[in-house]
Structure 1
């Protein structure tokens, strides 16, 4: 711990004056709010047959769904991702003008994402395999094995954003706001085709158009083009309110059990407007936040949290399930969700989940630490190998988020883009993709000599 503290002190003290500390804060805060929201929204009950059901507190208290207009902050994380991707890719191009930067860019951007993700996947895969071989047959275990991988959808979306950064950044450099409006317009057309014309399956295109439009706002932020954030926030808020009040869109900006239309999966135009509102809102707070982050102690806290935030995100549902597992083991009766007793127990459940998350972070955050990097790869075909790798990893983690680890040996599967995937297939795709990205962006030798490409 002393070594980690000294390293944090060094990183915080070495922060260059031009670094935008506010974007680091937004990254950490958005993941923290998502973790807290998941813990709060989980409404776990036990059926008469002993099966565990994980419901949603917002379904029990529908009036509280308006809170998602503030606390559904995934658009903020993807906005920060666009900002970071723009700076990283441009930096590589400046430093290596004669080297194709794509493979090195993917490796650099995805290392701190894929390494902790692969650790999470392999550990849970081993646990699920051990339970299956031991013949464990428990409805509550099955529910946990299905639920624990659901946050991986976020990793899949982020992989797609990183993979598409170079062409989308070129579009941004050429058209600026026009590139954003092209993606937003495509999202509008998808919703019209889906909701007005009944075109089947077209709605899944908005996983790309909506989230990439939010990502594009990060490019605009990197260029200082978000000059009137209150106007952006107001336009987004009015647009979302009008769509919900006058259109078919639900109030909640997260998915609700049994709803006919979800704003989240697949994303809708209402969620895109929500993203505009949130981005404008957080940008409006930039100046006071920057003054706060100038304080060494505050900035040191952001640096510390940033070093394990992805690990905490990946393992936070494991911690929550561990808390309920202890309650089940001790035969503690579960109170009715949203009842007075349930609310009184919230601080205890959150405290226990936080303590268990801290333990998991202590064990697994080593995979999130920056790994030693070599020169930027750019050998012949490296870009194609990297693109293949990120595509395989994308399909692997998205497939695993859908199918989970339950019924591992029974071939339980789900359909992803017209292809049926099982948990073993998804794990194999994710691992193979990760290894290809690592290989493609690793140090290489020139064909004309033995000297490594400068880094």
Structure 2
């Protein structure tokens, strides 16, 4: 039975952490807005506004909010896994946990991939794929890296949660120290390929903070921790950028030798700590505002379509620019006065088109009922590994060379878009056949 946002909002338990739900929506919304603002589109392709106007890179210290989303993920995963374990005390719950999480993530993702893969095949069979169309085929899958990393966090939640329950803050600081050691080996010693370890260590450290917050629910539950994280993280990030090899931008820049994002650096981890501390300092006053029924209904409704909006927001943005070109309207040179004058209208148009795409594809984000099936932790782990490797591979390859066998290197192995799509499908089907638990509704 499907419920409206108003019904779900009215049925919200009194102990629900509403602020976490707001952070989930706000962080994804900020990423969407940031992508729309950074896109410097011309008839020949898509550039980056931050590369054209380097002074704007300082804005990434506020707009690069993926650490907040991963922090919220850790909070929700801790509550969900513990709830499931309490309700099924004598049954293995790992496979059920993975299955429930994958359903919410992969159903809308697979719909997105299928639609865009079909479009790519049509375009390439027709001999197209140059200019803005070619850029779109390469660009639209890039944000899938975030889903791949998130799947890593889902897969590792049970062992990391056990580590947290045994060692508490020490487990978090161990991950922080390991991420710092990776950068020392990378920059001071020159160890090759070691930097790729930070794809896991940096984001898992932020995710581990979510476990710590889950143990201290309620306003003021952290005491002075948020202020310490905010001030300490901001100061450390500023020192590292000023004195070290780290660039100013907390998102990747085209052509840069060192990126804070790919692979993540210790500076980005410090940035994440500052953001988590900052949003936690706002928890009390914002939580009180969320008691207002209308605002809470809005948050509930947005949470129900947030992943769909994230997946399709670049499609909407490119659609707006494509419509301008199709109508013969001039695209001003990026970062000029005329370009900035058009920006508000472009943002409104992209938001409206995103809303239309959400209306068309939101059905895939609604959780489907889970039929009870035998649980198999190892099989589910294999399935989610295939999923995350496939999603990460697709984010690297794009769809521009779908029929030509264009490949990208994923963990030292070349992978093509068809192979990546096949891995996602096989992994999803594998997990779907495991882990069913009767009437499971995970929290968060």
Shorter-chain TM band: over 0.9
Aligned to 1:346: 343
In structure 2, what is the equivalent of residue 396 of structure 1?
390
- 1:410 maps to what in 2? 404
Aligned residue among 209, 217, 236 for 2:201? 209
The question of 1:320 aligning with 2:312 is answered no
Q: CA deviation at 1:378?
A: 5.2
Q: Quickly say closer, same or farther: Cα 1:89–1:328, change in 2 above 3 A.
A: same
Say if 2:45 and 2:131, in contact at 8 Å, map to a contact too. Answer: no
Aligned-partner Cα distance in 2 for 1:220–1:453:
28
Within a 5 Å distance, the mapping from 1:41-440 to structure 2 comes to 41-46=38-43, 52-224=44-216, 226-228=222-224, 229-375=226-372, 379=375, 382-440=376-434
Residue 16 (structure 1) aligned to one of 6, 13, 17: 13
Distance (whole Å) between structure 2 residues aligned to residue 213 and residue 454 of structure 1: 28
Whole-angstrom CA distance in 2 between matches of 1:10 and 1:417: 45
What is the root-mean-square deviation of aligned Cα atoms in Å? 1.6
CA deviation profile, 1:187-207 (whole Å, cap 9, x unmatched):
011101111111111111100
CA contact (8 A) 1:103 1:378 kept: no
Higher deviation after alignment, 73-82 or 124-133: 124-133
Corresponding residue number in structure 2 for 1:449:
none
Does the residue aligned with 1:266 lie in a helix, a strand or coil? coil
Give the 3-state SS of the residue equivalent to 1:76 in structure 2. helix
Q: What residue ranges of structure 1 are gaps of 5+ in the alignment? A: 47-51, 444-451
Cα shift at 1:373:
2.5
In structure 2, distance between residues paired with 1:238 and 1:275: 12
Q: 2: CA distance between counterparts of 1:378 and 1:164? A: 21
- Separation in structure 1 between the aligned mates of residue 75 and residue 46 of structure 2, nearest angstrom: 35
Deviation (angstroms), 1:301: 0.4
Secondary structure in 2 matching 1:44: strand
Question: Mean Cα displacement is larger for which, 392-401 or 59-68?
Answer: 59-68
- For residue 414 of structure 1, give the secondary structure of its aligned residue in structure 2: strand
TM-score, normalised to structure 2, is: 0.95
> After superposition, what is the alpha-carbon deviation per residue over 1:72-130, rounded to whole angstroms, capped at 9, x for unaligned?
10000000000000000000110001111000001112211111001111111111122
User: Matched residues in 2 for 1:453 and 1:145: separation?
Assistant: 40
3-state SS in 1 of match to 2:16: coil
Work out whether residues 153 and 204 of structure 2, in 8 Å CA contact, stay in contact via their aligned partners in 1: yes
Note the residue ranges of structure 2 that are not aligned, 5 or more in a row. none
Q: Find the aligned partners of 2:268 and 2:417 in 1 and give their Cα distance.
A: 30
Q: Is the 8 Å Cα contact of residues 260 and 267 (structure 2) preserved in structure 1?
A: yes
TM-score, L = length of structure 1: 0.93
- 1:49 match: none
